[in-house]
Structure 1
């Protein structure tokens, strides 16, 4: 079970838009991550590479945790809002729930729940 201090440090890293660094610091080496009902991606290195790939396409990102955070033993649910401004001038507003299973102070498993229609970039 993650300590409250660990959860706050994790959220702070994401809100600083240090997404790849948050994965390096808080995910287990063999962690799995999946989008909605998609196939899980397994391995921290793969998660870091994916974060860097997405962020390389962004001019700016704003990340916000919407409280409260729900914690029940090793399970945590966080509501996130992300605003991406892409290099091509479009933007994406995403709201999602992250359902996490922690092993001690590291995330072992995470599944994101969101409306896929949000992923389509919009023009300003």
Structure 2
């Protein structure tokens, strides 16, 4: 279970739009990341590469944790709102819930739950 200060540092990095840095600092090397019911992406390096790829397509990104983050033992639930301004001038607003499992101070599994229709830029 992450201590409260660890979880706050994680959330602060994401809210600072330092997503890759948050993954590097807090994910376990073999972490598994799922989006809805898709197959998992395995490994911290894979997750970091994905974050860099998303940021490369965006002119701007804003991330906001809708409080409170919920902690029960090794499980954490965080409600996020992400706003993207893409290089092509379109925008996307996504709201999702991240369901996380931590082992000590490392995130080992995460599933994002969201409506895929939100991914369509407007």
TM-score range, shorter chain: over 0.9
Q: Which residue of 2 aligns with 1:31?
A: 31
1:117 to partner: Cα distance? 0.2
Q: Which residue of 1 aligns with 2:20?
A: 20
1:57 to partner: Cα distance? 0.1
Q: Which residue of 1 aligns with 2:57?
A: 57
1:61 to partner: Cα distance? 0.3
Q: Which residue of 2 aligns with 1:67?
A: 67
Q: Name the TM-score, length of structure 1 as normaliser.
A: 0.98
Q: Which secondary structure does the structure 2 equivalent of 1:37 belong to? A: coil
Q: Which residue of 2 aligns with 1:3?
A: 3
Unaligned runs of 5+ in 2: none
Matches of 2:14 and 2:113, distance apart in 1: 17
Q: Which secondary structure does the structure 1 equivalent of 2:17 belong to? A: coil
Moved runs in structure 1, 4+ residues, more than 3 A?
Answer: none
Q: Which residue of 1 aligns with 2:114?
A: 114
Within-5 A mapping of 1:75-86: 75-86=75-86
Matches of 1:40 and 1:102, distance apart in 2: 16
Q: Name the TM-score, length of structure 2 as normaliser.
A: 0.99
Within-5 A mapping of 1:36-47: 36-47=36-47
RMSD over aligned CA atoms reads: 0.3
